Amino acid sequence: MKTPNFGPFHIRKWFLQVEDSLAGESGAAADGEPLRKFVLAACLHNPFAGRYETDLSRWIDASPDLGREFGRRIQGAAAGQAIESYGKACLVGADGDYEHGNALLTNPAANPVRDALGGAKSWVPSTGKRGGPGTIIDVPLAHKDALYVRSHYDTVSAMFNDAPNRDEVLVIWAFATRGRLNARLGGLKASEVKGLDGLV
């Protein structure tokens, strides 16, 4: 068992990935500010690796502290830029179950992230899988206050060079400062969002 160094968790490493898009795939210039995407990830020892565990509540119960740290880190990384969309994912090492990663992505972990963004309303799109170091994972993104904003349906790809090991889990959050460049599919505009119920 690895010695805990963050509440009940043993975190080996934090990752931060930042990308800026100034033009679209065909070369069209951005319709406004560049699109900045952030990927934050924590590489944790998985105490359940190698066995079936029926009760994952101790991870779920401790996950709000992890959520608050993700919130603190995205505030620092954004450096005052507004965050408009978000998504989450897990990447579980080969000796773990997919459910182990999902235990750290439920509402107890997500609500502190919402709070850090000023009280985001919509559900957080999520994905995950099992894999080892160098695995590429695509994290879905959607508007943080209204799910039906088509311009903010997006994806960010991430790869972690030395994680997760077989007995580790990567908890991953992704954020973006705006919707896709030159989005033109109609529907609810971000400027029209009411942010009442997480849908519109």
Q: pLDDT tens for residues 129-165?
A: 999 999 999 999 999 999 999 999 999 999 999 999 9
**pLDDT band (50, 70, 90) for residue 191:** confident
Tell me: the pLDDT tens digits for 83-110? 999 999 999 999 999 999 999 999 999 9
Q: Dump strand ranges (E) for the chain.
A: 11-21, 35-45, 85-92, 126-130, 136-143, 154-159, 168-176
In a domain, 163, yes or no: yes
Provide the token pair at 51: 């066995």
Question: What mean pLDDT comes out for the span 20-32?
Answer: 94
* pLDDT band, very low/low/confident/very high, at 48 (cuts 50, 70, 90): very high
pTM over 0.75: yes
Residue 123 carries which side chain, given as an amino acid letter?
A: W
Residues 151, 190 contacting (CB under 8 angstroms): yes
Q: What is the CATH number of the domain that holds 125?
A: 3.30.1330.110
Judged by DSSP in three states, 133 sits in coil
Q: How many domains does the chain contain in total? A: 1
Phi then psi for residue 74, to 5 deg, are -70, -35
Give yes or no for a contact between 79 and 128, defined as CB atoms under 8 angstroms apart: no
Residue 198 inside a domain? The answer is no
**What pLDDT score does 1 carry?**
62
Write down the pLDDT at residue 199: 85
- Residue 24 structural domain: 11-192
